[in-house]
Amino acid sequence: MKSLEGKVALVTGAGSVRGMGRAVSLRLAGEGANIVVVDREMAPKSIWPGDENWRGLEVVVEEITALGSEGLAVIADISKSEDVDDIVTKALDRFGKIDILVHCAAIRGPVGPTVVELDEEIWNRVINVNLTGSFLICKAVAKTMIDNPEGKKIVIIASVAGTFGAPGSVSYCASKYGVIGLAKTLALELAQYKINVNAINPDTISTNLVDERIVAAAEREGISVAELLKRRADSPPMGPNIPLGRHGEPSEVADLVYFLVSEQSSYITGQTINIDGGAH
């Protein structure tokens, strides 16, 4: 019997071809869980060559089914409470319960504008998706867990950017600081029900979240996105502070998520765990 057989997991931000949400969905499905996959659109765009025909959530559900589990795709904006309610309703209608929430959905926002330069509209957009969206989905799912809480798990993908300041990234850093505070508080509030809540802080993971930054960098250098991607492929930018000497992969985040939603982590709650190659 697979370790998550009979469990139902809800994974947000699962539609990107190179995303952590997709990797998590497949990791948990491989352990026997049925998966509700959520994203703001059916097939988020990717700038990487070969991704042009990506069909998004539709493919992820097909991959889940191929692993022997059931999948349900829901298109929703987690920053809107009515959309979040719809996600939970559809999940309960299909599977009758939610045992696991893995909240991956987030946006990066532009890199560069300082606090005094940042447009209020951009600030609000990042905070609404990253922080308010986290609050809404955690609140809605936690409500469904309390009546039958045994073995329930919540994992929120935060960021190392929620542990230090980063010039030019104020909205993202502020939102992730808030997400960590949300996770720690929720863990204490749900501990009485024996529901575990933890957060993961990725650093440089090779996902589509950096696409916007790559496009901006190509524009600054006056070259095409394809040229910049080739340069990165030929000589990947490791940065000066990654002792393991490489970027992380979504599958490695998924492995950590699996540990935190399995019975192996039953005595771990209220923690934030960095996955960063030793950088912090």
Residues noted as catalytic: 172
Q: Do residues 201 and 159 make contact, with C-beta atoms less than 8 angstroms apart?
A: yes
Token pair, residue 57, equals 């959530």
Token pair, residue 101, equals 């929430």
Angstrom distance (rounded) from CA 92 to CA 106: 24
Question: What are the Cα distances from residue 21, in Å, to 146, 240, 275?
Answer: 24, 28, 16
As a three-state string, the secondary structure of 3-49 is CCCCCEEEEECCCCCCCHHHHHHHHHHHCCCEEEEEECCCCCCCCCC
Q: What is the DSSP letter of 162?
A: G
Angstrom distance (rounded) from CA 98 to CA 108: 28
Token pair, residue 31, equals 């352990």
Within 8 A by CB and 6+ apart from 162, the residues are: 173, 175, 176, 177, 178, 179, 180, 201, 272
In Å, the largest CA–CA distance within the chain is: 57
Pairing of strands 71-75, 34-39: parallel
User: Which is nearest to 57 in space by CA: 32, 84, 36?
Assistant: 36
Angstrom distance (rounded) from CA 20 to CA 102: 10
Provide the β-strand partners of residue 274. 201
